[in-house]
Structure 1
Amino acid sequence: MSIISRRPKPRLLPELDDQELGKALRLLVRLPTPNMIDIQVGAIAAVVKAADAQRDWDRKAHRLAILGPVVAGGQLSEQWLRRQPNDGEALLFKAWVDVVRGRLNGSISDAAAIVRSCSRVAADNPEDPTPWVLLVALYRLLRRPLPEIVGVWNEVVERDPWNRYAYVEMLDYLSPDECGSHLQWMEFIEMVRARTPPDAPTAGLELTAVVRRYVKLLQGGGVQALFSHSAWAQPWEAAALEQAFRLCLSPGFLQRASALADLNTLAYALVEAERFSEATAVFQALGGVVTSWPWSTSGDAVQRYTKAAERARRRQAA
């Protein structure tokens, strides 16, 4: 982990450190004139196809996850498919955006069409776990029974054993707030902890679960919120935080597509746990790159990040 002496201005970067994705996102904010639509569709196609060609499934899912919400309110996914109706990546992107729209709207208009699209893409590119990842997300949204979602989950892990996005979908599906129970949720986390290699994209999943539970305590109010900070002294939370900090120092950690998202989660947790020296080291590694979650759970993400980083620096120096 590099220690940066300067303090770059914190900024919200959905692409994280993916510069090619960042270039595409900057094009997507321009007005959709006819010529610009061609450029925008080309930019989307280029970044998705590049990750696919490299068989970098972690980065491909990251790019789809960031692009999907950006274009969900427009017609760029339809425009790409209209221009290239036989392109599997265009078909997958349209299906991905449809699931994003379903989450935003609270319902899926044509789930069967998404399943057909994923099946076609999977048949044409059998090594790619991404259509199966999307089916996990769809089945979670539809609240399908556990055996059904486990079936598509198994297709993912057969192709990509540590696919971060599939694991996050299953984590949420198994939570008591959705289709699972506290016991199922904890068993899943225990399985991930026991099996995940330290350099895998899923290495930050346990801390993500810990922070989600902590945020829920804060947002619930009452006595639980009042004493929520004591959670960081509990064995599970403390162990997860310690392991996450060790992992972020390991060689190759920052090469993962979502590494900076995991570092934001870690920085948030370290500040909340009042481990300011470690938090300062993580903020330095982040270089001012802010993610919406978990900072936005208590206000403006950039402001909360900035205040937390300053608090960590002041308390470390005290």
Structure 2
Amino acid sequence: MTPPRPLGRSRLGGGPAFDPALDDAELVTVRDELARGRWAEARRLLADTGDDWDRRGHRLLVLGQVTAGIAWSREWQLAEPDSADAAALLACATAQQAARRREDPERARALCAAAARMAPLDPTPWLALLLLAHSGATDDEPARHFGQIRARHAEHHHAHHLMAASLARHKADHDDPLHEVYDFAAWAAEQAPADSPLALLPVVAHAERYRALARAGVLPRDPAASGHWAGRRARQVLKAAFDWWLEWDIDDTSGAHPRHKVDLNYLAHAKLNEGRLAEAAALLIRIGPHVTRAPWSYPDRDPGKALRAARRTALGSR
């Protein structure tokens, strides 16, 4: 459900910290309970999540980030050794710590494999393995784990973001307009249903490629100065994404489309932080009442203020 770190908080440094739980208020509550060692609420939440694989992966990864999450999930597993949810939580918690070089990656890999055996249809243990491979903590090839995830859930949101980020790092010594990450993103968007948020993956691929090039010193660390977002491919990618948004009518205010809300905010924050305020204004107008609450809870993230500033800039540039 959730992408990797939002574009608005550059991995190159700076920017506010976003709550990884995003707008999942129930997840925030359960995470707080788990941090106190109360795993019963986590058990209930994951049972209620069922086979919504995007949401399940998001919730397990967020719960796995809890301080002492490994200890609490191990305690749950000792109490309920047949629980696939407990095994998945322990695997996700350990994999994320191993990705940060704070746990043994081989142990994390073994726990992921055990969780996968307990729930063969669940892509989440493979998502944890993909995250581990993406971090470089193991020698695993990300594509192998990505294939296992797609076999279980072809539209898995987070897995596609991670795979795009992994591919974008290949051959970062020069800016290649025909780089494989662009082909991957275009292929995934074409394979997905018409209303899938994977339509935005080409934009994500473009951003991840910029990050890789900037980190390698090929492009300036300032996106506005890099020219990466002003070229022909960037214009095509952004036009395709905007066309998708404009053709897609959101008429449900019940909160039934959490992935869509995450995606729309994901790029709106990016545009604001890159100084592309006219584009941010278009996104904010499009989001309307569907804006997620959590990112805007920061003082400098007031949507009204951002939208007014974006409109003033857009009008002033005409």
TM bracket, shorter-chain basis: 0.7 to 0.9
Give distance in 1, aligned partners of 2:115 and 2:293: 34
Give distance in 2, aligned partners of 1:262 and 1:80: 33
> Displacement of 1:263 after TM fit?
1.4
TM-score by length of 1: 0.73
- 1:133–1:156: 8 Å Cα contact kept in structure 2? yes
1:102 aligns with 2:98: yes
Tell me how large the CA RMSD over aligned residues is.
3.8
**Aligned residues between the structures:** 288
1:279 aligns with 2:274: no
Deviates more, 1:177-186 or 1:161-170: 177-186
The equivalences for 1:83-232 within 5 A come to 83-104=79-100, 106=101, 108-111=103-106, 113-141=107-135, 142-146=137-141, 149-176=142-169, 183-214=179-210, 225=222, 228=225, 230-232=227-229
- 1:68–1:96: 8 Å Cα contact kept in structure 2? yes
Q: Which structure exhibits the higher relative contact order, with contacts defined as CA atoms closer than 8 Å and separated by 6 or more residues?
A: 1
Shift in CA distance, 28/180, structure 1 to aligned 2, threshold 3 Å: farther
Partner of 2:288, secondary structure, is helix
- 1:81–1:90: 8 Å Cα contact kept in structure 2? yes
Return 5+ residue gaps in structure 2 as ranges. Answer: 1-16
Give distance in 1, aligned partners of 2:171 and 2:219: 23
Determine which structure has the larger helix proportion and give its number.
1
Percent sequence identity is 23
Matched with 2:44 is 46
AA aligned to 2:285 is A
AA aligned to 1:42 is A
Return 5+ residue gaps in structure 1 as ranges. Answer: 1-10, 293-299
Shift in CA distance, 278/115, structure 1 to aligned 2, threshold 3 Å: same
TM-score by length of 2: 0.73
Partner of 1:275, secondary structure, is helix
Give distance in 1, aligned partners of 2:182 and 2:55: 27
Give distance in 2, aligned partners of 1:221 and 1:180: 7
AA aligned to 1:266 is L
